[in-house]
Amino acid sequence: MIVVTGATGKLGSLVVEGLLQKVPANQIIAAVRTPDKASGLGARGVQIREADYSRPETLNAAFAGATKVLLISGNELGQRVAQHKAVVDAAKAAGVRLLAYTSLLRADTSKLLLAAEHLATEKYLRASGIAFTLLRNGWYAENLTAGIAAAVQQGAFIGASKDGRIAAATRAEYANAAVAALTGEGHENQVYELAADTAFTRAELAAEVSKQIGKSIAYHNLPEAEYEKVLASFLPPELARIIADAEAQAAEGALDDDSHTLSRLVGRATMPLADVVANALQAS
C-alpha cells in the first residue's frame, strides 16, 4: 500500500494520477487533511484517510498497513518541522518500509530561507532509521508562468532574479519523479536533486512569451526589497519574504541545476521552455 499525503493539493493530485497508471487503485491511500475534497478519488477506488499533520492522532490510523509513504511538504510556513516530524513518527510506528519526502533543491547547502524547514525534516527522517528517498524539488515552472497574464496586461514581468538561471520543471514532472521513486526499485536512502534539463532566465521567459503572443513583454528586475513590497500587496507578508528571498538567491544560481537527475529518474527529457509557455498560455 502506497500512501500519498497532501493528496488533495496540486502536486499530490498529480502524484495520485500517476500512481493510478501504475498500480491498482485499491493499493493507493490518499491521506488528506480534508477528506471531502477527495471524494472524486474515492469514487475511483482510492482509499481516502484523514491525515492532518497538526493532529498526530489522525496519522497513525492513516498509515496503518502502508509499505511506502510520500510525505508532501506542508504549506504552513513555520509549523512544518513539527508537522513533518509527526508524520515521520507515525510512519515509523506503522512500520513503513520507505518514506519519500518532497524537499528542496540542495536543501543541505541552499541559502534559501525555505531550506531550513526542509533540512530539519531531512535530518529527522535520516535519524528515524526508516529508509528514505529525498526528492529535492527545484522551483516549479508554474511559480514563474503564473505571472504571465499580469505581465501581458502590464507589458512586463517583474522579479528579482537578475540574469540567474532557474532550472524550473513543472509540477507534473516532479510528480512523475515521485511516482518513479514510489513504484521503482533501488530508491532507498537516495537523494535526488530534481530540476529541469534546461534552465532559463526571467528575461528568456519574457522573450519566449513575447514570441508566442506576438507582442513585446519586457522583464524588469527589481531590488529584492522592492519586489517583496510588490508581492506583499497581494500575498501574506511571510510568503512575500520567502519568494523575494528565493528570487534574490536565484540570481546567485541557487535554483539552477544541470544534473539531469529528474529526466534520468523518469526516463524522459523535461519539457522545453517553449512548451512550458505554450501550455501556460493555453491554460490562461
Ligand X SMILES: NC(=O)c1ccc[n+]([C@@H]2O[C@H](COP(=O)([O-])OP(=O)(O)OC[C@H]3O[C@@H](n4cnc5c(N)ncnc54)[C@H](OP(=O)(O)O)[C@@H]3O)[C@@H](O)[C@H]2O)c1
Q: Which residues bind ligand X (CB under 6 A)?
A: 6, 8-12, 33-34, 37, 51-54, 72-76, 83, 102, 137, 139-140, 143, 171
| Of residues 40 and 155, the one with the C-beta less far from ligand X | 40
Report whether 263 contacts 197 (CB < 8 A): yes
> What is the closest distance, in whole angstroms, from the C-beta atom of residue 216 to ligand X in the complex?
28
Q: For residues 39 and 46, what is the distance between their CA atoms, to the nearest angstrom?
A: 9
> What is the closest distance, in whole angstroms, from the C-beta atom of residue 7 to ligand X in the complex?
7
| Of residues 6 and 18, the one with the C-beta less far from ligand X | 6
Cα 103 to chain center, whole Å? 8
Question: Which residue in the shown chain puts its C-beta closest to ligand X?
Answer: 9
Q: For residues 190 and 47, what is the distance between their CA atoms, to the nearest angstrom?
A: 28
| Of residues 143 and 210, the one with the C-beta less far from ligand X | 143
| Of residues 113 and 155, the one with the C-beta less far from ligand X | 113
Grid cell, residue 278, equals 505554450
| Of residues 12 and 18, the one with the C-beta less far from ligand X | 12
> What is the closest distance, in whole angstroms, from the C-beta atom of residue 155 to ligand X in the complex?
26
> What is the closest distance, in whole angstroms, from the C-beta atom of residue 248 to ligand X in the complex?
15
Residue type, 127: A
> What is the closest distance, in whole angstroms, from the C-beta atom of residue 51 to ligand X in the complex?
6
CA nearest neighbour of 71 among 100, 29, 38: 100
- Residue 95: partners with Cβ closer than 8 Å, 6 or more residues away: none
For residue 167, the 8-state DSSP code is -
Question: Is 1 exposed, middle or buried (CB count within 10 Å of its CB: 0-12, 13-18, 19+)?
Answer: middle
Cβ neighbours around 167 below 10 Å, total: 26
> Across the strands, what pairs with 48?
30
Report whether 137 contacts 270 (CB < 8 A): no
| Of residues 74 and 164, the one with the C-beta less far from ligand X | 74
> What is the closest distance, in whole angstroms, from the C-beta atom of residue 214 to ligand X in the complex?
29
> What is the closest distance, in whole angstroms, from the C-beta atom of residue 58 to ligand X in the complex?
8
- Residue 284: partners with Cβ closer than 8 Å, 6 or more residues away: 148, 149
Question: Is 152 exposed, middle or buried (CB count within 10 Å of its CB: 0-12, 13-18, 19+)?
Answer: middle
| Of residues 210 and 259, the one with the C-beta less far from ligand X | 259
